[in-house]
A and B are shown apart, each in its own frame.
Chain A
Amino acid sequence: MNTLSKKQESSATVLSQPSRIRKYTSSFLPPLILGAGVLGVWYYISYGLLEEKRRFLLRPIHSVIEIGFLNGDNRTESLQALWSSTEVALIGLSIAIGLGFVLAILMSQAKFLERAIFPYMVTLQAIPILAIVPLISFWFGTGQRSRVVVCVIIALFPIIVNTLFGLQSAERGMHDLFTLHHANRLTRLRKLMFPAALPAIFAGLRISAGLSVIGAVVGDFFFGKGEAGIGQMLKKHANRLNGEELLSCVILSSALGVLVFWIFGVIQNKAVGRWHEANSAG
């Protein structure tokens, strides 16, 4: 009996090993295959479709890496620009989170506040950034402050909408429970509405985190005073037809976007993964 159970145990551990490997391969293999395919197409276009004198339209990946990332001067310049944009994105995102929370909480407390504020949020969100670039530069100058403003405008809306939706998601019965036991507004917000809102809040944060990077780059593109960010680099390299450097900046900025998206996913998992039914963060 004893040996039998031991045998089963060991066979179970043996079984779990390949199943774990299978789990990893099943989650990493598909994107790797697709990625390899994309690189193949990239090379095909660079070398197969484009003649030599038109090859600047799409530089092959190894020369992008060589010139964009391995060349010391270019690398230092790009990383400095990346840091400047990261700073703008983080400041902008923090302001958007603070402002978004305050507005969403206000709107969740009274229907008339929601009716009053919400249309303006939709309007703000619908304005093309390009259209208000001159205004922003009148009001906030052409330096970092304006870049942050662009970033906030772009990142704010998903936070407001998702937070508000989350705060309103607690079930009627739960509200009745809090009413029966004489909970005040603050207690209700703290112990019922806010925890109920967390999954939606994180969904909003992940979207906004990605948007804040876009906001920082777009803002930098228009408002280049002071330290150059990724936007300025893109502009410069585009003007000079530096294909490799241009692509390396595109790669850097999207890597930053992926990184913040991923970080918020990890925080989300820590915060709500244990209890939330649909826990799909990763």
Chain B
Amino acid sequence: MIFPDGTEALQNITFELRRGEFVTIVGPSGCGKSTLLKIASGLLQPTNGTVEVDRERLGYVFQDATLLPWRTVSKNVELLAELHGIGVQERKKLVKESIELVDLEGFENHYPKSLSGGMKMRCSLARSLTLKPPVFLFDEPFGAVDEITREHLNEETQLLFKQEGFAGLFITHSISEAVFMSTKVLVMSARPGKIVAEFNIPFEYPRKPELRFDAAFAEMCGKVSVELRGSHS
């Protein structure tokens, strides 16, 4: 991917993502992670190469929740189903299910301005879940929330992944977040972005919060960290 101003953001990136896989890309900021996701989603066209993604019902969670402030939680969750022309009856059912999946029951009639950062993100997740997406893209979605909320959201995301069985592609710069949720972690180098290392994460799902204090977990994070540092220099 080369931008019109000559910046080369991505170079020779090849990988495959199957259903039942949760791949996370970690990399330093400005390495082109978000660009990669924009290309995968079709928001950007690559200058070179091909991307094959089933974009019919794409799940996509942005860096911020991008909730429409004039819609209540349940109306926000309903939006994508509306855009895809799903009938009202079916829509209501999907909305209810999705809101249950992210534990937002009781907040259906709240407007986004009265929600916390974590709840906004959950609402945003629920919105994508209504489509039962086969592919789910996450663009550093939990970067803006506090550490405790972030860990909760990580736990919930991997549970959702296990339940719904989508193919997940997650972008982050947090190593522990990456290792905790993923089946596979890819390490990306800074400009032009290249994939420099690949780790399969063997831990069983559903993963418990205690996993974070496991020696094997720490060792895995250490390995990723070494590669990440190597890519940075």
Q: Which residues of A contact B (CB under 8 A)?
A: 171, 173-174, 176-183, 187, 191-192, 195-196, 198, 272, 274-277
Q: Are B83 and A173 in contact (CB under 8 A)?
A: no
State how many angstroms separate the Cβ of A87 from the closest Cβ of chain B. 34
Q: Are B62 and A176 in contact (CB under 8 A)?
A: yes
Q: Are B68 and A180 in contact (CB under 8 A)?
A: no
- CB-defined interface of B57-86 with A at 8 Å, one 1/0 digit per residue? 010101110101111000000011011100
Closest 10 pairs between A and B when the two form their complex, measured CB to CB: A173-B66, A181-B83, A275-B111, A195-B70, A275-B70, A173-B62, A275-B69, A183-B83, A174-B66, A180-B60
29 contacting pairs across A/B (C-beta < 8 A): A173-B62, A173-B63, A174-B66, A176-B43, A176-B66, A177-B66, A177-B79, A179-B43, A180-B41, A180-B55, A180-B58, A181-B58, A181-B80, A183-B83, A191-B68, A192-B68, A195-B68, A196-B70, A198-B70, A272-B70, A274-B111, A275-B70, A275-B111, A275-B112, A275-B113, A276-B69, A276-B70, A277-B69, A277-B113
- In the bound complex, residues from chain A placing their C-beta under 8 Å from that of B113 are 275, 277
The docked-state distance in angstroms from the alpha carbon of A177 to that of B67 is: 10
A interface, over-half SS? helix
Q: B222 at interface (Cβ–Cβ under 8 A)?
A: no
Knowing that A180-B60, A275-B70 touch, tell me 8 more A-B residue pairs with CB under 8 angstroms.
A173-B62, A173-B63, A173-B64, A179-B43, A180-B41, A191-B79, A272-B70, A276-B70
Q: With A275-B111, A277-B113 as given contacts, are A187 and B70 in contact (CB-CB < 8 Å)?
A: no
Q: Are A180 and B79 in contact (CB under 8 A)?
A: no
The docked-state distance in angstroms from the alpha carbon of A174 to that of B63 is: 11
Q: With A176-B43, A275-B113, A276-B69 as given contacts, are A181 and B84 in contact (CB-CB < 8 Å)?
A: yes
The docked-state distance in angstroms from the alpha carbon of A84 to that of B85 is: 49
Which residue of chain A lies nearest to B60 when distances are taken between CB atoms in the complex? A180
State how many angstroms separate the Cβ of A136 from the closest Cβ of chain B. 40
The docked-state distance in angstroms from the alpha carbon of A272 to that of B113 is: 13
Q: B42 at interface (Cβ–Cβ under 8 A)?
A: yes
- In the bound complex, residues from chain B placing their C-beta under 8 Å from that of A183 are 83
The docked-state distance in angstroms from the alpha carbon of A249 to that of B70 is: 42
State how many angstroms separate the Cβ of B162 from the closest Cβ of chain A. 25
Q: With A173-B63, A191-B79, A277-B113 as given contacts, are A180 and B70 in contact (CB-CB < 8 Å)?
A: no
Which residue of chain B lies nearest to A274 when distances are taken between CB atoms in the complex? B111
Q: Are A177 and B62 in contact (CB under 8 A)?
A: yes
Residues from 71 to 121 in B contacting A, C-beta threshold 8 Å? 71, 79-80, 82-84, 111-113
- In the bound complex, residues from chain B placing their C-beta under 8 Å from that of A198 are 70
Which residue of chain B lies nearest to A187 when distances are taken between CB atoms in the complex? B83
The docked-state distance in angstroms from the alpha carbon of A276 to that of B42 is: 32
- In the bound complex, residues from chain B placing their C-beta under 8 Å from that of A276 are 69-70
- In the bound complex, residues from chain B placing their C-beta under 8 Å from that of A195 are 68, 70
Which residue of chain A lies nearest to B131 when distances are taken between CB atoms in the complex? A181
- In the bound complex, residues from chain B placing their C-beta under 8 Å from that of A196 are 68, 70
- In the bound complex, residues from chain A placing their C-beta under 8 Å from that of B66 are 171, 173-174, 176-177
- In the bound complex, residues from chain B placing their C-beta under 8 Å from that of A179 are 43
- In the bound complex, residues from chain B placing their C-beta under 8 Å from that of A192 are 68
The docked-state distance in angstroms from the alpha carbon of A276 to that of B79 is: 19
The docked-state distance in angstroms from the alpha carbon of A30 to that of B83 is: 50
